[in-house]
Chain A
Amino acid sequence: MIEIENLSKNFGAIQAVRGLNVKVKPGELFCFLGPNGAGKTTTIKMACGLLRPSAGNIRVGGFDVMREPAKVREIIGYIPDTPYLYDRLTPVEFYEFIGDLYGIPRRQVAAELEHSFEIFDLGQYAACLIKDLSHGYRQRLIYAAAFLHNPQVLFIDEPFIGLDPYTIRLIHNLLKRKAGENMTIFLTSHILALIEKLADRIGIIVDGRLTAVGTLEELRAQSLVQGSLEDVFLRLTRPESKEMQNEK
């Protein structure tokens, strides 16, 4: 569903992504891990078509992201780490706006809205301006809107940042269910305990290079660490750091 081949991206003299190769199957929940500045967000932005790769190709749902961007945009959803929302709209108005952009009939939007706002507990804030919503409720609205057009592929950058345990559980279960319904999900996160339970496969990126990819068991085998994902991650990303190992 997502094919990334020899992908590179330069920002001036800085090489953010270097020769990345990843394939994600339909219905797979793929998690991209890496230290800060490793190139995770840049990769996601290139996969969505927001950034132009300096080299390499990306295909999403069989479409080349650079050559057929319009087709790609119709089948994907993207939730950035700090998403933009129109502050002077109400959640209902924003939801309807997204529905219109994707050409979804109003009747269907109304039905989805009722269902979605119930799941995300947004009903009580339906008439408030978005600028008055808390961070958690803004995130809930973004998820509700992102699922409206039922994307085949969903890219999420840091889905759990700044959320309360209830919302984290809500989103965790939702992602799991959507993947079960054959939605391909490509996400990045630093909350390794959650990713351990959530991800089908995990890719680890360091300094723009993919250093390991596979299921948790495969990563354990590659790293020669039989512990948690955190142990595996630390070994694969900072093998020389004695301090980190000693902390454990």
Chain B
Amino acid sequence: MKKQNYMSDLLIFLKNDCRMLFNLRFAAREQSVFKAVVIGVFAAAILAGLFFLFLDAFRFLSSLGGVGVLLIQHLFGLFFLGLGIMLVLSNIITAYAVFFRAEDVPFLLLQPVSRGTIAVHKYLESALLSSWAFFFIMVPFVSAFAWHQKLPLIFAFWTVLFSIPFVVFCSGIGVILVVLAVRFMPRLRGWVWFSAFFLCLLAFGFYDAFKGTGYKSDDVSFLLAGLVPGIKLASFPLWPSWWVSEGIMALVRERWDRGALLFCVLIANLLFVAMAVEFIGDRFFYGAWERVVSAGERAGLRRAGYGGLSAFTAGFLPPEYRAIILKDIRTLLRDPVQMIQGLLFFGLLGIYFFNLRNLQYHLLAPVWRNLISFLNLFSLATIMCSFCSRFVFPQISLEGHAFWIIGLSPTGMGRVLKIKFMLAVFIMLMISGTLMTISALMLSVPSYVLLITILVAVAVSFALCGLALGLGAVFMDLEQTNPVAIISGFGGTFNLVLSLVYIMAAIIPFGFICHEYILGGISRAWFAAGIAAASVWLAIITTLTAALPLIAGRRSLVSREY
């Protein structure tokens, strides 16, 4: 009989993971060069953009003198605190997928290894999956900080040395929370908990925004005052983020004893968290997983809910439209992973918009509010762009697998494209219209900025949905059933690039004209003429971006052999 050995079992898993990572070279060879180049260029552009943004912020604070210089030192700690919280939150989502939805879990549970070892293996997988974004943000911030403070090159080494255990530590907290929550929380569907969480955050933001403030000061004081509570929190010496920021700075200043002490504190806590994961995994992981797979469906309640929706849509939609729309809505709502992803896409943006007053942005000068309003529009548009790439683009390919149902029915694939376009646009209009209205109200921008941003959001909704669905039909992939694999091909990348180009072409003219008008650079008459011209430009590019791919997609679907 095999002797249980936790470490050697874990090493077997890690060796297997390394082999799979090494074998990724085969998959890399199958990827298109165009896609790799586009991703590389965009990643480099984002890194460079973030670097200069952070550098600009440091220079600005430096220009303020005493307080600003002091703040720069504390910003380092605040940055790690913020990233730590983000890591815990992102791990809650990643760990749920890795622990309870991954296909390999039943296989692993049947192997002669302890459940604690499986939990630690899954914990490391979750940490790896959720940490790339951490490093993506950390590299430009830390580089800008080092550049501005003229720190030696060894600073980069100390940062990496502290960051890796910090990432794994934060991931462990997320994992522990998820496993315990799944094991012991009363049974409700995941997205109900998630929606409740978001609603609480929104309610808090709303309350905070309108509770009133007597705070009046200049713009710089707003910025500094906004940072103070965070800095106070980040300076608490029991936070792991404090050990990281202080430890790195101690080593840079060659205070070896202090640096080593803080590193040892971090490692000791990391090992404790890893032990806790193993302990909790041993005792609760199987029970939690079993609870997820044995959860009963509340079919009766659900039938009643969807029955109402079915009856409602029957009043004004033709049967084939109703059939496809109801199928799509049901499919989306019954997939908690997709629901959570969808909520994440727009929920975080909604929380941010609701908190604009909390951040005192409505008291800023008109030129700043206008700028923030258009930046918000740009954020919304890029998230819509990601949403369309992730959810709308693969729709036709996924439907293509069911061509024997829909394609051979009197509805036909051509009409499916039209119905899906209508549904996607409806959903996008609801989301974009609501979010832009919230943003404008929270910022107290002039009514013309409100109207312009909503107009652009509406146009973006039409264009992105048309582009994603049309190209999705042209580059239909019947080999794949996994939406992520569908969007990672040439068609998905092409759609993403065109979408990004479109949103820049749509937003920049309006933003520039409004900015110039508020600064007093152009007269009212020139402003009106400029907005009219930009509107014509928007109408033309929106029509072309939405209609051409849809027409090409329809032709492709009708003439295609399945």
Q: Is A73 at the interface (CB under 8 A from chain B)?
A: yes
Q: Is residue A166 within 8 Å, beta carbon to beta carbon, of the partner chain?
A: no
Residues of A close to B287: CB separation below 8 A:
52
Q: How far is the CA of A83 from the CA of B111 in the complex (A)?
A: 14
Candidate in A51, A70, A71, A129 with the most chain B CB atoms within 10 angstroms? A70
Is residue B185 within 8 Å, beta carbon to beta carbon, of the partner chain?
Answer: no
Number of interface residues of B (CB under 8 A): 33
- List chain B residues, Cβ under 8 A from A165: none
Interface pair B23/A70, CB less than 8 Å apart: no
The answer to whether A73 and B110 touch across the interface, beta carbons within 8 angstroms, is yes
The answer to whether A227 has its CB under 8 Å from any CB of chain B is no
Partner of A101, one of B9, B104, B109, B298: B9
Q: Is the CB of B12 within 8 A of A100?
A: yes
With contact pairs A12-B296, A89-B23, A90-B23 given, residues A101 and B113 touching in the complex (Cβ less than 8 Å): yes
Count residues of chain A with CB under 8 A from any CB of chain B. 32
User: A89 with B104: in contact, given A50-B110, A70-B4, A101-B9 (CB under 8 Å)?
Assistant: no
- Whether B107 and A97, one on each chain, are in contact in the complex, defined by CB atoms closer than 8 angstroms, is no
Q: Which A residues lie within 8 Å of B525 (CB)?
A: none
Instruction: Check if B19 sits within 8 Å of A74, measured CB to CB.
Output: no
Q: With an 8 A cutoff between CB atoms, is A141 at the interface?
A: no
B298–A51 CB distance below 8 A: no
Q: How far is the CA of A51 from the CA of B290 in the complex (A)?
A: 6
Q: A90-B23, A103-B2 are in contact. Are A97 and B12 (CB under 8 A)?
A: yes
Question: What residues of chain B lie closer than 8 Å to A71, measured between beta carbons?
Answer: 1
Check if B290 sits within 8 Å of A10, measured CB to CB. no
Indicate whether B103 reaches chain A with its CB closer than 8 angstroms: yes
Closest beta carbon of chain B to A19's beta carbon, Å: 18
8 Å CB interface, B386-429 against A: none
Q: Chain A residue with minimal CB distance to B105?
A: A84
Flag if B110 contacts A78 (CB, 8 Å): yes
Q: Does B297 contact A (CB under 8 A)?
A: yes
A70 to B104, alpha carbons, bound, how many Å?
18
Shortest Cβ distance from A127 into chain B, in angstroms? 10
Are B296 and A13 in contact, CB atoms less than 8 angstroms apart?
yes
Select which of A12, A69, A89 is within 8 A of B19 by beta carbon: A89
Is the CB–CB distance between B20 and A86 below 8 Å?
yes
Q: State in angstroms the CA–CA spacing of A70 and B4 once bound together.
A: 9
Report yes or no: B109 in contact with A74, Cβ–Cβ below 8 A.
Answer: no
Residue of A nearest to B107 (CB): A84
Check A52/B290 contact, CB under 8 A, given A70-B114, A88-B20: yes
Closest A residue to B5 using CB positions: A103
Chain B contacts of A52 at CB under 8 A? 287, 290, 294
The answer to whether A101 touches B111, judged by C-beta atoms less than 8 angstroms apart, is yes
Check if B215 is an interface residue, CB within 8 A of chain A.
no
Interface status of B216 (Cβ within 8 A of chain A): no
Chain B residues within an 8 Å CB radius of A10: 294, 296
Tell me whether A35 is interfacial, beta carbon within 8 Å.
no
What is the chain A residue whose CB lies nearest that of B113? Answer: A101
**Residues of chain B in range 223-255 having any CB-CB distance to chain A below 8 Å:** none
A residues contacting B by CB (< 8 A) are 9-14, 48-52, 69-71, 73-74, 76, 78, 80, 83-84, 86, 88-90, 93, 97, 100-103, 129
Which residues in B have some Cβ–Cβ distance to A below 8 Å? 1-4, 9, 12, 15-16, 19-20, 23-24, 26-27, 103-104, 106-107, 109-114, 286-287, 290, 293-298
Could you list 10 examples of A-B contacts with CB < 8 Å? A12-B297, A48-B110, A50-B109, A50-B110, A76-B110, A86-B16, A86-B20, A89-B19, A89-B20, A102-B111
Q: A50-B290, A84-B103 are in contact. List 12 more A-B contacts (CB 8 A).
A: A12-B295, A49-B110, A50-B109, A51-B290, A52-B294, A73-B111, A83-B107, A86-B20, A90-B23, A97-B16, A101-B9, A129-B23
